[in-house]
Amino acid sequence: MSLTIYNTLAREKQPFKPIDPKNVRMYVCGPTVYDFAHIGNARPVIVFDVLFRLLRHIYGEKHVTYVRNITDVEDKIIARAAERKVSIRELTEGTAKVYQEDALALGNLPPTLEPRVTDTMPEIIAMIATLVKNNRAYVAEGHVLFDVASDTDYGKLSRRALDDMIAGARVEVAPYKKNPMDFVLWKPSDATMPGWDSPWGNGRPGWHIECSAMGEKHLGETFDIHGGGIDLIFPHHENEIAQSEGAHHGRPIANYWMHNGFLQVEGEKMSKSLGNFITIRELLAEKKFGAEQWHGRVLRLAMLGTHYRQPIDWTLDRLTQARTTLMEWARLLHDVQPADDPSGDVLAALSDDLNTPSVFAALHGLAAAARTNADDRRRLRRTLAFLGLYGGEKDVDFLVGQTIDAAAVEDLIARRNAARKTKNFAEADRLRAELTAMGVAIEDGAAGTTWKVMS
RNA sequence: GGCCACGUGGCGGAGUGGUUACGCAGAGGUCUGCAAAACCUCGUACCCCGGUUCAAUUCCGGGCGUGGCCUCCA
């Protein structure tokens, strides 16, 4: 089985060849922890978790290193902390904790490492110093700026020409910049802001340098895969490339760049002003989206229904369908012990640039076979666990926040069966209608009557 | 204004130069006291206009629509 991935750098699918099969290395841009993560933030977390799982399967669990950073120094954090009158540490720790809980609830494995900017300051300062020494950056009015004109390759990821960008003329024109496109590596902090001592005075890092420094620190100069949302291609990833390759004499930072597509909500851009901004926490724990709570695995299944590079429309209908599917699988697999290995068809579909819709076609085929075959049930159970989609829940577990009085249901069923025994079918049908009204569906099987909650 | 994606049957969503994706919903059937589940059967889709081709949903050009980036937002 060979893994193929779409490389944004080349704009084509390429066979994946790791630098070192004994240590496959992936870096994904994590959150800036100033507010709860929204459902759009969940997409890269889920997508690259699936890739992480696949890589672990191919190369072995101990031979894959996955780094997802936490950015805990940033101007929006400073602003939000001031606004809420809490300390920066309090804000970033609290937000990071919720983020990690959300990620776990969505069925993601923890990354190998989750480094923080505040723990990477010596490396950040060292990398900036190297860039200055290499004549790729300059000091101006307490700032250190990357000298874009020194980078003949600048724009290779986003495929934009410097001249075009300047012509766009929406760049900040600061008088101390040599070139309008030059971006900040280090900026001065006043007494009210977090700051670190550096050769350029007390200050803090610019937006992009932290990822370059954390990547180098934990994965080396060149690693295999760098991932993130498509909106990060420019300027964030472009600037990361400029910084890292500027510090490493042109040696590439990553061989493969992967970007997930954008997310919309009910056909519209998600924004606070439109009132359709939805956080992961709200979906999981509050009855806000469709006035229901949603199980993390339902959200995960819904997210993976669309190929990661396609735009995805986050709708109520999508979540309902995902829940229906998951509940069906749960009825089939609740008591089943997993097989040793996941399905080969699923692995093959996954290996084609994470074609998760194809994966689902394979899963549905397996589910059809699993209805009559125990081996297929065990295989399906194992495959869904491998994907992080199912962990042995009962079907009703996916109806979060809905409660049914089981004793009352059992009582109605008993009365109905008594009526059926005396062929009083009118009464039996009346009792069924009562159950239906409660949201309960019943099935008369060979082993007696079973019931389930309708979704 | 510049650059870039996407537009598939009621819905979701892969894929392909000529042959059934798949799922949900829906219709018919077997089964059932009635149902449900299960199983069987059913949809001849690919934004518009040109072009290339024996043949285009699939390639090329234009248009329309939606969205993204260019304003430290995944």
SS (H, E, C) chain A: CCCEEEECCCCEEEECCCCCCCCEEEEECCCECCCCCEHHHHHHHHHHHHHHHHHHHHHCHHHEEEEECEECCCHHHHHHHHHHCCCHHHHHHHHHHHHHHHHHHCCCCCCCECCEHHHCHHHHHHHHHHHHHCCCEEEECCEEEECHHHCCCCCCCCCCCHHHHHHHCCCCCCCCCCCCCCCEEEEECCCCCCCECCCCCCEEECCCHHHHHHHHHHHCCCEEEEEEEHHHHHHHHHHHHHHHHHHCCCCCCEEEEEEECCEEECCEECCCCCCCCCEHHHHHHCCCECCECCCHHHHHHHHHCCCCCCCEEECHHHHHHHHHHHHHHHHHHCCCCCCCCCCHHHHHHHHECCCHHHHHHHHHHHHHHHCCCHHHHHHHHHHHHHCCCCCCCCHHHHCCCCCCCHHHHHHHHHHHHHHHHCCCHHHHHHHHHHHHHCCEEEEEECCEEEEEECC
Place of tokens 């606070």: A272
Tokens matching residue A190: 């006043």
Is the CB of A15 less than 7 A from some atom of nucleic acid strand B? Answer: no
In tens, the pLDDT along A181-216 reads 899 999 999 988 999 999 999 999 999 999 999 999
Give residue A1's pLDDT band: very low, low, confident or very high (50, 70, 90): low
- Mean pLDDT value across residues A93-116: 96
C-alpha to C-alpha distance for A293 and A282, rounded to whole angstroms: 8
Distance A430 CA to B29 C1' (A): 28
8 A C-beta contact, residue A42 and residue A106:
yes
Phi first, then psi: give them for residue A139, nearest 5 degrees: -100, 135
Q: Can you name the residues that pair with A66 across neighbouring β-strands?
A: A26
Give helix A316-333 / helix A296-304 axis angle, nearest 10°: 110
Cβ-count burial of A175 within 10 angstroms (0-12 exposed, 13-18 middle, 19+ buried)? exposed
* Closest nucleotide to A320: CA versus each C1': B24
If one looks up domain A4-260 in CATH, what number appears? 3.40.50.620
Q: What is the pLDDT of residue A449?
A: 86
Which chain B nucleotides are covered by protein, judged by CB under 7 A?
1-6, 11-15, 21-25, 32-39, 66-74
C-alpha distances out from residue A378 to A50, A334, A346, A384, Å: 21, 11, 14, 10
Rounded Cα distance, A99 and A78, in Å: 19
- A101-115, A152-166, A406-420: the lowest-pLDDT one: A152-166
- Average pLDDT in the A448-454 region? 82
* pLDDT digit string, tens, across residues A290-299: 889 999 999 9
For chain A, percent of residues with pLDDT exceeding 90: 71
- pLDDT class for A120, splitting at 50, 70, 90? very high
CA of A282 to C1' of B67 (A): 25
- Tell me how far apart the terminal alpha carbons of chain A are, to the nearest angstrom: 38
Give the least confident one: A115-129, A161-175, A324-338. Answer: A161-175
Closest to A259 measured CA to CA, from A159, A331, A163, A377? A159
Residue A50, pLDDT > 60, answer yes
* CA A319/CA A289 separation, integer angstroms: 10
Closest C1' nucleotide to A43's CA: B74
Chain mean position to CA A251: 28
pLDDT at A392: 93
A166 touches strand B (CB under 7 A): no
Q: What is the mean pLDDT of chain A?
A: 91
The answer to whether the C-beta of A233 is closer than 7 A to strand B is yes
A361/B20 CA-to-C1' distance in Å: 13
Confidence band, pLDDT 50/70/90 cuts, at residue A333: very high
pLDDT at A275 over 70: yes
**Rounded Cα distance, A92 and A34, in Å:** 6
Asked whether the predicted pLDDT for residue A442 surpasses 90, the reply is no
In percent, the amount of chain A with pLDDT more than 70 equals 97
Query: In the structure, what pLDDT confidence band is assigned to residue A108 with cuts at 50, 70 and 90?
Result: very high
With CA atoms as reference, report the closest residue to A54 among A352, A337, A262.
Answer: A352
pLDDT for the residue numbered A181 = 87
- Round to a whole number and report the distance in Å from the CA of A32 to the C1' of B8: 37
What is the pLDDT at residue A167?
A: 55
Q: How would residue A173 be classed by pLDDT, with cut points 50, 70 and 90?
A: low
User: Is nucleic acid strand B under 7 Å from A32's C-beta?
Assistant: yes
Q: Specify the nucleotide whose C1' lies closest to residue A328 (CA).
A: B37
Closest nt by CA–C1' to A318: B12
pLDDT tens digits, A211-244: 999 999 999 999 999 999 999 999 999 999 999 9
Q: Which of residues 212-231 of A touch strand B (CB under 7 A)?
A: 228-231
Å: A345 CA to B45 C1': 27
Contact yes or no for A115/A217 (Cβ under 8 A): yes
- For A351, how many CA atoms within 13 A lie in the half-sphere containing its CB? 17
Q: Are A192 and A102 in contact (CB under 8 A)?
A: no
Distance from residue A351's CA to nucleotide B72's C1', rounded to whole Å: 34
Instruction: For strand B, list residues 129-158 of chain A whose Cβ lies within 7 Å of it.
Output: 158
For chain A residues 337-376, those near strand B by a CB cutoff of 7 A are 353, 355, 357-358, 360-361, 364-365, 368, 371
A172-191 residues near strand B (Cβ < 7 Å): 172, 184
Q: Which residue has the higher pLDDT, A341 or A436?
A: A341
Domain parsing of chain A, residue ranges: 4-260, 263-398, 406-453
Helix pair A296-304, A39-59: axis angle to 10 deg: 80
The angle at the Cα of A161, spanning A179 to A261, to the nearest 5 degrees, equals 110
Nucleotide nearest to A183 (CA to C1'): B72
pLDDT tens readout for residues A9-21:
988 899 999 999 9
Measure, in angstroms, how far nucleotide B68 C1' is from residue A438 CA.
45
Strand B contact with A313 (CB < 7 A): yes
pLDDT (average), residues A348-369:
95
Q: What is the pLDDT of residue A18?
A: 97
Confidence band of A168 (pLDDT split at 50, 70, 90) = very low
A322 CA, B42 C1': Å apart: 25
